[in-house]
Amino acid sequence: MKDEQPAEVLGEGRFARFVRRNGWEFCDRTRVGGIVAVAGLTEAGEMVLVSQWREPVRAVVVELPAGLAGDEAALEGESLETAARREMMEETGCGGGRWEELLSGPPSAGLSSEIVTFFRATGLSRQGAGGGVGNEKIATHLVPFGELEAWLVGVQAKGWLVDPKVYAGAWFLAEAAGGKGAE
Of 22-26, 148-152, 159-163, minimum mean pLDDT range: 22-26
What integer pLDDT is reported at residue 53 of this predicted model? 97
pLDDT at residue number 5: 81
Residues 8, 26 share a domain:
yes
| Alpha-helical runs (H) found in 93-158 | 148-157
pLDDT digits (tens, 9 = 90+) for 119-133: 999 999 999 999 988
146-175 burial string, b = 16+ CB within 10 Å, else e? eebeebbeebeeeeebbbebbebbbebbbe
Q: Does residue 57 lie in a domain region? A: yes
CA distances from 179 to 28, 101, 152, 156 (A): 36, 19, 20, 25
What mean pLDDT is predicted for residues 104-125? 95
Same domain, 96 and 144: yes
169 and 81 co-located in one domain: yes
Same domain, 97 and 133: yes
pLDDT score recorded for residue 154? 98
With contact defined as beta carbons under 8 Å apart, do 15 and 30 qualify?
Answer: yes
Same domain membership, residue 82 and residue 138: yes
- Same domain as 1, residue 71: no
**Stretch 2-8: mean pLDDT, rounded?**
79
* Domain, as residue range, for 55: 33-176
Indicate the pTM of the whole model.
0.90
Classify strands 161-162 and 59-63 as parallel, antiparallel or unpaired.
parallel
* pLDDT reported for residue 58: 97
| Band of pLDDT at residue 70, cut at 50, 70 and 90 | confident
pLDDT at position 117, please? 97
Whether 183 is covered by a domain: the verdict is no
Do 2 and 37 lie in one domain? The reply is no
In a domain, 181, yes or no: no
- Structural domains counted in the chain: 2
